[in-house]
Amino acid sequence: MKRVALFLDRDGVINIDKKYVFKIEDVEFLDGIFDLISYAKSLGYLIIIITNQSGIGRGIFSEKDFQILNNWMLDELKKNGAQVDKVYYCASHPTKGIGKYKKFDDRRKPNPGMFFEAKKDFNIDLSKSIMLGDKISDMKAGFSSGIKNLLLLSDKKRYSYSKNIKSLKDAIIYLE
């Protein structure tokens, strides 16, 4: 049986985007994220985080730094009733990456590779799933993967195939 997922970008949706967040002391969770994830889980959604992490590829922080922060964030989310099923991340950047990280990667948003990985890993029906992001690249990646329910957390940016929401509380109505 196919499953549905709520795909979430990390920086700008889970936590305030402070550009290259990799230290625990820099994390500030967005208001409403615990309730949104908890409610989505209660409706049967898988919770999947899809995040570009080019700070690794640029040499700003290491994959170990990312994993330490990621594990801490997942623990904090869980403590607050917001269980995440999986985190997919892409560390490469096609022009600003260093060494092995300087490459085109179909996993890096706006490309849909991470969504297709999740589809395979969890037997997800992408057409019935939801993508919530704060950047146009999130919307393009979701659209390219076949997701029809695209939520852009922004009152400024626009994308022709998404619905704009101003807060995470606004996203709850699209889950039902």
Q: Which residues are catalytic?
A: 9, 11
User: Within 10 A of 67 (CB to CB), how many other CB atoms are there?
Assistant: 12
Cα-based torsion angle of the residue sequence 62, 22, 151, 42 in order, rounded to the nearest 10 degrees? 100
**What's CA 122's distance to the chain center, in Å?**
16
- 3-class SS of residue 70: helix
Residue 100 DSSP one-character state: G
In sequence order, which ranges of the chain are alpha helices (DSSP H)? 33-42, 54-57, 63-79, 113-122, 136-145, 168-171
**What's CA 4's distance to the chain center, in Å?**
15
Yes or no: say if 76 and 61 are a contact pair by the CB < 8 Å rule: no
Give the strand pairing for 163-165 and 149-153.
parallel
